[in-house]
Structure 1
């Protein structure tokens, strides 16, 4: 079998393929033939040496992958040969709140999915929705679960008829748009030009704001909501002041990260206090949330947006395409 390896901070040119023996699953484990993986922003951070969580030397990169169970170890009851599964990003996070005990993650402190075969514990994966291909299912573990957690993981959850703001056309934002529509919400999307605006409208956005043409997009959100503001904002940039000015009083801002090389400015505490909003940092989600999300994906026949699929030998080219910022939708490597 072949696996890619890389050291933290080595860059895309540091990716290298090595040969290994195919592993044998032990007690409570299964062997999965990986059929597809997908890239997310965390993968670029690992290669740049700026990822916020520990990365082990010579790691097999990429957190997100899906495949087929090809062997089962002793005592396995939750899977059979032939099952189609997707791995969870934080293997020990089964349910409940996140804690330091759940920090080990694939493609970081643990080996990831950019490999032909991987051994998983029987509680470290979820079944793939029947209507999804392996390539589509490989897009789910990081950004889709993050989007689901951002909308539903606060103990209240998004309600039909509420208004959600999603930012840009990255993976989290596209999934948040699709999930919000499936849950009966109105979606306002922000983006950086008419071409992307048209695509977001195609994907179901009820209104789209070009933030280059309208830098004060928060005021536009208030105009579109009769002055009230959005019930929820899924913030992927880290520039929280605009989100707080766009959210309704006592609304919810899910801070997903900062997909920008520019450091966000310090947050004025007066803006936070005046908003009356809850700001919640969101780091992916639990296996229980993954399962709940998949039920909604299956019930609503949601299909992930894929920009381009590369072959396994072309994985460095997939990284370069993703890093270029040209993709609208997920970048996938198929095995």
Structure 2
């Protein structure tokens, strides 16, 4: 079967399409999945670029979707022919997070889904939303579930809430769609007027170009009548957090998701304390959360926004496109 491996020390020129042995039949508690689609995330880029060093020969990509070809003894949740999507934390079934690293995450601590076939434990997959393409389903694993957990699970989003999303990457677009479907009002930032226009077409109530308005936090708050938003999906990190605090209401909720502007930096703790705000760090979610999200997508009719699709053989080109920052929504991989 075909697969892509990443050689040390990493870098897009270290990605190679190879032939490898078929994994064979599933054992007890395992399923065999013919993978058909994946999608790219900032985490995947970190591994592929070498910024997040992985084991030599690692198969990248945390997202994977396809159909079950066979099931092992004791499997009752899946049947051959089921369309499935991978989980970011295969050992986190439900409840409190049991892990604080990426040692079990596909494409990082263990081999990922840049390959045609995988045999994996049942916890590595859930059912995919009915009617979705494999490329669409693959967007749930990382970006989709992160947005869902931030707003629905941790944020207890309700109709009438105000939500701020930063930029137009996969998590932010999913957050906009989920918030709008649940009756919330959404505000957004971007450095591109063209992308801001697309966000307004998708239902954003107010937008700000952060390059033209560097002090965008108070501007967002002004759009809410001075109250501030109830939720911030904070994907930027240290360079954007101070503005997000100003955009958020007293007692509001900030989901710290991304490190696009760096891994560490100064946090204006006094401002956050004075405003009684809650800063929640999170990385994706559990299998139970993913099953809930799948049902939510089926009921609301949300479909992910896919900017471009690349074949597996052009994975390096897909990462280069992600690196350019010109995409809107998700970049998909056809396997």
- 8 A Cα contact 1:91 1:102, kept in partner: no
Give the Cα separation in 2 of the matches to 1:265 and 1:123: 36
- 8 A Cα contact 2:31 2:121, kept in partner: yes
CA root-mean-square deviation:
1.6
> What is the aligned partner in structure 2 of residue 240 from structure 1?
241
Give the Cα separation in 1 of the matches to 2:15 and 2:106: 16
- 8 A Cα contact 1:9 1:47, kept in partner: no
Equivalent positions of 1:95-244 (< 5 A) are: 95-100=94-99, 103=102, 104-154=104-154, 157-238=156-237, 239-244=240-245
Give the Cα separation in 2 of the matches to 1:8 and 1:184: 47
Give the Cα separation in 2 of the matches to 1:101 and 1:313: 32
* 1:230 Cα deviation from its structure 2 partner: 0.5
Look up the SS of the partner of 2:233 in the other structure: strand
Give the Cα separation in 2 of the matches to 1:73 and 1:118: 13
Look up the SS of the partner of 1:153 in the other structure: helix
> What is the aligned partner in structure 1 of residue 267 from structure 2?
267
Structure 1 stretch displaced more, 200-209 or 31-40: 200-209
TM-score (norm 1): 0.95
CA deviations over 1:201-240 (Å, ceiling 9, x no partner): 1222121111122221111112111111100101100121
> What is the aligned partner in structure 2 of residue 12 from structure 1?
12
CA deviations over 1:239-283 (Å, ceiling 9, x no partner): 2111111111111000101223x5664112212212210001110
- 8 A Cα contact 1:37 1:64, kept in partner: yes
* 1:310 Cα deviation from its structure 2 partner: 1.0
Equivalent positions of 1:308-323 (< 5 A) are: 308-323=308-323
Q: 1:324 to 1:193 in 2, by over 3 A?
A: closer
* 1:158 Cα deviation from its structure 2 partner: 0.6
- 8 A Cα contact 2:253 2:277, kept in partner: yes
Q: 1:134 to 1:55 in 2, by over 3 A?
A: same
Look up the SS of the partner of 2:172 in the other structure: helix
Look up the SS of the partner of 1:179 in the other structure: helix
Q: Does 1:38 align with 2:26?
A: no
- 8 A Cα contact 1:7 1:47, kept in partner: no
Look up the SS of the partner of 2:143 in the other structure: helix
Q: Which 4+ runs in 1 deviate beyond 4 A?
A: none
Q: 1:263 to 1:111 in 2, by over 3 A?
A: closer
* 1:101 Cα deviation from its structure 2 partner: 7.2
Equivalent pairs, count = 331
* 1:162 Cα deviation from its structure 2 partner: 0.6
CA deviations over 1:42-62 (Å, ceiling 9, x no partner): 1111123333xx733311100
Give the Cα separation in 2 of the matches to 1:4 and 1:116: 10
- 8 A Cα contact 2:85 2:138, kept in partner: yes
Give the Cα separation in 1 of the matches to 2:251 and 2:207: 24
Structure 2 unmatched ranges of 5 or more = none
- 8 A Cα contact 2:8 2:14, kept in partner: no
- 8 A Cα contact 1:173 1:234, kept in partner: yes
Structure 1 unmatched ranges of 5 or more = none
- 8 A Cα contact 1:13 1:316, kept in partner: yes
